[in-house]
C-alpha cells in the first residue's frame, strides 16, 4: 500500500510503501518536518555523488555546481563506474565515503546549492548541524559494506560532470529507487544522533566500569 502524506492540503514528497518511509525528490523543508534522528528512511529520485574536491570547488573557488542538486540529494562517495559508450554509464559499486571529510565545507555548500539530503558514512558535526537547521536539510548514514547493494538501487546514471577530477570525484547524477536503508543522523531541527547517543553511551559505559571494578576489585 502507498500512502502519500499531505500537509495543509499540499502533497508532500514522503511515501509510506510496504512499511518503508520513502523520501521522493524534489524535497522541501516541509517534507522534512516529520523526519527525526534515528528514523530509517529510503530515497527515490535524484542523487548525485559529491566528494571533497567538488565541495572545495563550490565553497573555496566559488564555482557553480554543474548539476542541479537543489531540493535533491548528494552522496559522499567515490563510485566505480563502467562506461557503456556514447556517454552512457553503469554503476558497478558505490560505497559511502566518510562524511566528516566534508564537514568544513558543508554549511556553505548547503547554503549555496540548496541540497536537502546529504548521505554518507558516519556522522557529522556542528557545521552540518547548523546547515541542516538553518536551511532545512538532513544528513543520513548509508550502512558501510553495502556498495554493491547501493549500486543495484541506482536505476540510471543521467549525467557526469567535472570528469576532469577522475572517476571517484566526478559528479555522477543518478536516478535511484528506494535507495537505502538510510539512518537519519542529523535532522532539520539540528539534532545530532551520534552526538546525543555519545552522551548516553558514555553514561552507560561509566556505570558498567563501576560495576566491573567492584566485581574485580579483589584482584591485586
Q: Does domain 2-193 have CATH number 3.20.130.10?
A: yes
pLDDT score at 39: 97
pLDDT score at 18: 77
* Inter-axis angle of helices 103-113 and 52-59, nearest 10: 60
Backbone phi and psi for residue 105, each to the nearest 5 degrees, phi listed first: -95, -20
Listed residue (113, 126, 92, 111) closest to 50, CA to CA: 113
173 as an active site residue: the answer is: no
| Spatial distance between the Cα atoms of 187 and 132, rounded to a whole number of angstroms | 7
pLDDT score at 220: 55
pLDDT score at 218: 65
How far apart, in Å, do the first and last CA atoms of the chain sit?
Answer: 63
Listed residue (82, 81, 74) closest to 99, CA to CA: 74
pLDDT score at 203: 79
- Which member of 36, 55, 76, 139 is catalytic? 55
Q: What is the pLDDT along the chain (220 residues), one digit of tens a residue?
A: 444 455 444 455 788 877 889 999 999 999 999 999 999 999 999 999 999 999 999 999 999 999 999 999 999 999 999 999 998 999 999 999 999 999 999 999 999 999 999 999 999 999 999 999 999 999 999 998 899 999 999 999 999 999 999 999 999 999 999 999 999 999 999 999 999 988 788 778 888 888 888 777 666 5
Q: State pLDDT tens for residues 113-158.
A: 999 999 999 999 999 999 999 999 999 999 988 999 999 999 999 9
Quickly list DSSP for 188-216.
TT--BHHHHHHHHHHHHHHHHHHHHHHHS
pLDDT score at 84: 95
Q: Which three cell numbers stand for residue 201?
A: 553511551
pLDDT score at 72: 98
Parallel/antiparallel/unpaired status of strands 20-24 and 40-49:
parallel
pLDDT score at 7: 46
pLDDT score at 11: 56
Amino acid at each position: 500500500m502507498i500512502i502519500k502524506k499531505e500537509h495543509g492540503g499540499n502533497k508532500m514528497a514522503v511515501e509510506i510503501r510496504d512499511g518503508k518511509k520513502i523520501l521522493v525528490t524534489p524535497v522541501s523543508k516541509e517534507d522534512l518536518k516529520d523526519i527525526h534522528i534515528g528514523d530509517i528512511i529510503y530515497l527515490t529520485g535524484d542523487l548525485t555523488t559529491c566528494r571533497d574536491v567538488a565541495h572545495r570547488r563550490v565553497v573555496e573557488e566559488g564555482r557553480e555546481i554543474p548539476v542541479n542538486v537543489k531540493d535533491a540529494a548528494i552522496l559522499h562517495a567515490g563510485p566505480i563506474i563502467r562506461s557503456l559508450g556514447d556517454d552512457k554509464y553503469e554503476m558497478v559499486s558505490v560505497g559511502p565515503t566518510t562524511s566528516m571529510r566534508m564537514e568544513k565545507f558543508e554549511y556553505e555548500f548547503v547554503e549555496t546549492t540548496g541540497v536537502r539530503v546529504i548521505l554518507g558514512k558516519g556522522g557529522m558535526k556542528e557545521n552540518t548541524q547548523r546547515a541542516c537547521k538553518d536551511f532545512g536539510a538532513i544528513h543520513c548514514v548509508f550502512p558501510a559494506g553495502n556498495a554493491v547493494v547501493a549500486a543495484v538501487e541506482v536505476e540510471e546514471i543521467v549525467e557526469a560532470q567535472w570528469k576532469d577530477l577522475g572517476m571517484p570525484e566526478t559528479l555522477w547524477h543518478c536516478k535511484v529507487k528506494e535507495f537505502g536503508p538510510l539512518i537519519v543522523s542529523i535532522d532539520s531541527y539540528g539534532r545530532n544522533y551520534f552526538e546525543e547517543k555519545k552522551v548516553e553511551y558514555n553514561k552507560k559505559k561509566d556505570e558498567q566500569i563501576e560495576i566491573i571494578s567492584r566485581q574485580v576489585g579483589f584482584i591485586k
